Amino acid sequence: MERVFVRVPATTANLGSGFDAVGMALGVYNDFELELTKDESWTAEIAGEGSDDLPGDETNLVLRSARFLFDRAGIAVKGLKAKISNRIPLARGLGSSATAIVAGLVGANALLNRVFCNDEILAMASLLEGHPDNVAPACLGGIVVSFENDGRLWTQRICPPAELHVALVVPRFHLSTAAARAALPRQVALEDAVFNVGRAAFLACALGKGSFDGLSFAMEDRLHQPYRQNLVPGMEEVFAAAKRAGALGVALSGAGPTVMALSLQNDSRLGEAMAGAFAAHGVPSDVIWTKPSSHGALSQFEEKG
């Protein structure tokens, strides 16, 4: 095989209380085509989001991830060309970097006729990303609870309830994960840890059962969102607006600045209320309505030849 197509979903991590442990795949996708070349060039052609900013040489994250897998396999590859179609906003808390990592690994593995199993691909993705909360749902689809223990990644996948809708309100500014991480304290109070543990456990159980009662409280958080609030102007008011408009629950998507809300219907009033709260703080934003994606990249790629 000399060419492969990979589609990877966006992800929203944390879902509020499940900090660094829970993530959900979304029905917004980046598309990638990886092709082996006979020359020694490693290049990327980028369309859509980030086309003016992302590198087109061997430093591109898709190519770096593919090279990582080739090296792990002990196979020398002369050249690789990636065609990237980005629909997921960059640096907005929607897992755009996770899609690049997963696409590079999945695509490279397919080009080598799948020398690595799915678990090995996921472990490599977590290593490259530094944490599994985005790459796990990007690989597996659905809602994924994950953690690492002694170098091994453990996951439990939850099939998302079919009636669940997701409103993404995406501010028109970038927020780097590094900056969002730097805002977090090194220690938290015991009562705050207990607050989150109970809610995260309830959240996973409720979503697994398709029960929506109490989600508003289960998605509350004391470990990361309060400390990132100053990085996202109007965040508290956006949360309040979402709840008044009938959201099942609301949370910062990943490191932000996107705010995501769960709903049982695609109700334009919910998105408008959240965008209006951002606008009151001078923050323009865009509303994306989507649903959880049951499919991840590991079950979604197809060959082209």
Q: How confident is the model at residue 1 (pLDDT cuts 50, 70, 90)?
A: low
Alpha helices, DSSP H only, in the chain?
A: 61-73, 96-111, 118-129, 135-140, 177-182, 190-209, 215-218, 225-228, 235-244, 268-279
Q: What is the pLDDT of residue 304?
A: 38
* 298 pLDDT above the threshold of 90: no
Specify the CATH number for 165-290; select among 3.30.70.890, 3.40.50.300, 3.40.30.10, 3.30.365.10. 3.30.70.890
Percent of the chain with pLDDT over 70: 97
Provide the pLDDT confidence category of residue 301 given band limits of 50, 70 and 90: very low
pLDDT in tens, 113-142: 999 999 999 999 999 999 999 999 999 999
pLDDT beyond 80 at 171: yes
pLDDT band at 151 (very low <50, low <70, confident <90, very high): confident
- Give the list of residues 6+ apart from residue 79 with CB closer than 8 angstroms, or none: 36, 37, 38, 39, 40, 41, 42
Looking at beta carbons, which pairs linking 73-79 to residues 24 or more positions away fall under 8 Å?
Answer: 73/112, 73/115, 73/116, 75/112, 75/115, 77/36, 78/36, 78/37, 78/38, 78/39, 78/40, 79/36, 79/37, 79/38, 79/39, 79/40, 79/41, 79/42
Tens digits of residue pLDDT in 195-224: 999 999 999 999 999 999 999 999 999 999
Whose tokens are 């015991």? That residue is 190
Q: What is the mean pLDDT of the chain?
A: 94
Report the alpha-carbon distance of residue 283 to residue 269 in Å, rounded: 18
pLDDT at 276 over 90: yes
Residue 267 pLDDT class (50, 70, 90 cuts):
confident
Structure confidence by residue, pLDDT tens digits, 54-95: 999 999 999 999 999 999 999 999 999 999 999 999 999 999
Cα–Cα distance, 35 to 143 (Å, whole number): 31
Domain boundaries, the chain: 3-159+293-303, 165-290
Rounded percentage of the chain residues whose pLDDT exceeds 90? 93
Give me the torsion for CA of 113, 26, 141, 129, rounded to 10°: 70
What is the Cα–Cα distance from 267 to 53, expressed in whole angstroms?
34
| CATH domain 3-159+293-303 topology | Ribosomal Protein S5; domain 2 (3.30.230)
**3-state SS assignment for residue 58:** coil
Distance CA 142, CA 128 (A): 21
Which residues neighbour 213 within 8 Å (Cβ) at sequence distance 6 or greater? 206
Element counts in the chain: helices (H) and strands (E): 10, 11
Helices 96-111 and 118-129: crossing angle in degrees, nearest 10, is: 140
